[in-house]
Homo-oligomer: A and B are copies of this chain.
Amino acid sequence: MREKTMKNLFNLKMLIPLVGISMPMSPGMAGTQSTQAIEQIINRYEAHLNESDAQSIMRLYGKDPVFMPQHSPAQVGRAAVKKAYDSVFANIDLNIKFTTYEIEIYGNTAWARTSSAGKTTIVSSGMKITEGNNELFVFKKEDGEWKIHRYLFSTTTPRQ
C-alpha cells in the first residue's frame, strides 16, 4: 500500500527502490516529510531553471555547494555556482521537465537520481534544440531545511 502511494507520488518509472530511509532519530512520518521536501526542491529547481532565475536557484543551494556543469570544471562555493548559472542563462533558455526516480535519506543527508527532458533555445541564435540529461543530487539538511549540496548532470542526447 505504502509502496503504491510512493509510486503515484513520485512518478516511478522503474521497479527500483524509490525511497530508502535510514534515520535512527526520525523514522516514519519525518522520512516522508523529508522526501516530500526534497521532491519540492527538485520541482522548484525545475521551475527556476525554466525561468532562468539564478537568484532563486541559489536559495535552493546550501552553504558550501558544488555544481558541476558540463564543459566546465566543478564550481565550488556559492559565488562560483551563482556565476555558473548566470553564464548558463546568458547562453540558453531552458524548457525542461524533471522526472525523479529515487530519493534516499540518511539523517541530514540525501541523494536523488533524476532525468530531465525538453527543449533548449540558444539565446544568441533563437535555435531550439532537444535537451535531455541524467542528474545526481546530494542534499544536506542545514538549519532544518533541505538544500542542494552537490549536483551533477550529463547529456542523454546522442553524440552529434
Interface-forming stretch among A2-10, A39-47, A106-114? A106-114
In the bound complex, how far is the Cα of B111 from the Cα of A63, in angstroms? 19
Q: Say yes or no: is A33 at the interface (Cβ < 8 Å to chain B).
A: no
Per-position binary interface string of chain A over residues 112-127, scored 1 when its CB falls under 8 Å from any chain B CB and 0 otherwise: 0101000000000000
Which residues of B sit under 8 angstroms from A64, Cβ to Cβ? 16-17
In the bound complex, how far is the Cα of B150 from the Cα of A74, in angstroms? 19
Q: Are B71 and A159 in contact (CB under 8 A)?
A: yes
Per-position binary interface string of chain A over residues 138-160, scored 1 when its CB falls under 8 Å from any chain B CB and 0 otherwise: 10000000000010111111110
Q: Say yes or no: is A135 at the interface (Cβ < 8 Å to chain B).
A: yes
Chain A residues with a Cβ closer than 8 Å to the other chain, count = 37
A-side interface mostly: strand
Q: Are A109 and B113 in contact (CB under 8 A)?
A: no
Listed A/B pairs (24) with beta-carbon separation below 8 Å: A14-B76, A16-B64, A20-B109, A22-B106, A22-B109, A24-B24, A70-B155, A71-B155, A71-B157, A71-B159, A72-B156, A73-B115, A74-B101, A74-B113, A74-B134, A74-B156, A104-B109, A106-B106, A106-B109, A111-B111, A111-B138, A111-B150, A152-B152, A152-B153
